[in-house]
Amino acid sequence: MKKEKTLSVLIYIFGPVVRYILVSELAAAALDLVWDNFLQESALQGAAAAYSLSLQTIRPYLRLVVSAAAGCLSVRRDAMTEWSAFPAARQKRRLSFAGGPEEGSGGFPDNPARNSLWSRLYVAADEKVRMRVLPLLLVSVMSLAAGLNAAFSCLLRDSSAQGIQGSLPGFAGMLLQTVFYCFFMPFVEETVFRGIFFPRMQRWYGTGMAVLASALFFGLYHGSFPQGGYAFLMGIVFALSYEASGKFTVPAALHGACNLMILWLQWTDRYSAVCTPVWAAVFLGIAAGGFLTIYMIVKKTADQ
């Protein structure tokens, strides 16, 4: 009986992730089959060379968009269920730490557990605190993304942690990359790993385990060591931001902003210049200072 229950829980937690991966891979394989057998030859033999070049360049994006969209649609019901259930469950956890504070109270003065990590995290969701820390959080997370990319590139030469690849020339390429890497993929990946996997893991194994597990499998999903290591560390931040804010838009926006930071460095040809130990230390130092400042602001509010 216990084994059956454990198996059902694992299916409940990992099922949507596996379904997303399988459906997206099948969609990508189907597109490859259609391209190789029906479209490639006609595209290469197109009368206009520019048309052929554009189709060849857009194809990788189209393949990723269609496959990711198909995978995301396959888990849409799971996502909608978790999105609607998460705020209430999170508020229940928050009140369990608060010991029932009055509405609008930022701190937890009567709670003996008020010095714990999670009570600090929930204090950060207070409206006044949130408005103070969100801009600093954005700068800190973007600096962390740049610092980790620089650090991984220094440790593993000719290797990019984020791995944003491919482009069209000029403004069209920048617009396409912005839409894909800063809006579409952050929404899809956050839906699967923070929107569905994180709350389900949290429901059975607690918040700490859910944060680490969602980050770990987010890293494994990215494949290679540099991208996986980068995704694991950023995944921890995204999961904590979701739990602190209770809003799915927060980790999705942070994810998109980090990708935009890396894209900007590539567009301006500064990426290779900042991939040095000095710049890695600078960006990581800015991130550490920002996170420490946020902690001090939240701590002061919690102790009031």
pLDDT of amino acid 109:
44
Q: What is the mean pLDDT of the chain?
A: 82
Residue 263, number of CB atoms within 10 A of its CB:
20
Mean pLDDT within 285-291: 95
Residue at token pair 């608060």: 98
Confidence of residue 100 (pLDDT cuts 50, 70, 90): very low
Q: Closest Cα partner for 235 from 281, 201, 271?
A: 201
Neighbours of 60 (CB within 10 A): 12
Q: Given a cut of 60, is residue 261 above it in pLDDT?
A: yes
Q: Which residue has the higher pLDDT, 304 or 69?
A: 69
- Which range (50-54, 65-69, 72-76, 275-279) has the least confidence? 50-54
Give the least confident one: 57-66, 69-78, 103-112: 103-112
The Cα–Cα gap between 274 and 183 comes to 25
Phi-psi region of 203 (alpha: psi -120 to 50; beta: other; left: phi over 0): alpha
pLDDT reading at 225 higher than 70: yes
Distances (CA, A) of 207 to 102, 238, 243, 244: 24, 13, 9, 11
The per-residue pLDDT for 33 is 87
- Given this model, what pLDDT does residue 94 score? 80
Query: pLDDT per residue over 197-218, tens digit each?
Result: 999 999 999 889 999 999 999 9
> What pLDDT sits at residue 102?
42
